[in-house]
Each structure stands twice: as C-alpha cells, then as structure tokens.
Amino acid sequence: MSLRIENQTCYFDTDTLHQHLPASAVTIITDSAKSMSAVDLGGERVYITEAEADALTVAGATDGRRHLKASEGDSVI
C-alpha cells in the first residue's frame, strides 16, 4: 500500500484500489482484532502505520483511533 499526502489531499494506492480524497473526508479507526490503525475506503479496509495515521491527522483527517490495553497479565503493554 502506498499513501501520499499533498496539500491536504490523500492518495491511497493498493493492488485493488486507487483513490484520492481530501484529508477531511478520511477517518482513522482502530481494528481491535488486529491491533492496527486503518481507514475504510469505498468498502475496503486499508491498514496503515501509526506514522501514516499521524501524518493523516496533521493533514486534517479525523482521528477515531482508540487506545487498546492488554488483557493478559504477562503482556509487555
């Protein structure tokens, strides 16, 4: 997956998706099952790094991430 941000416009390129939209139309979510950040684009979930999520929020995306905490007692989190 490739993500490029220019002038508050986000360009997402995957094997099956080529989409660009204003950052203000993007909402970053947390996929609890995978413990990863993602965006939903046209019905397709695209997983992104935390650095990419931070860059999107700086560009104007909505930050809908949730902080997850471990439920296992021996977790390093």
pLDDT by residue (tens digit) across 23-64?
999 999 999 888 899 999 988 899 999 999 999 999 999 999
Phi–psi pair at 68, nearest 5 degrees: -100, 145
pLDDT at 43: 86
Q: Which residue has the tokens 């790094």?
A: 49
pTM over 0.85? The answer is: no
Provide the sign of the torsion angle of the four alpha carbons 70, 55, 62, 40, taken in this order.
negative
User: Under DSSP, is residue 65 helix (H, G, I), strand (E, B) or coil?
Assistant: coil
pLDDT at 5: 96
Taking domain 2-63, whether its CATH number is 3.40.190.10 is answered by: no
77 pLDDT higher than 50: no
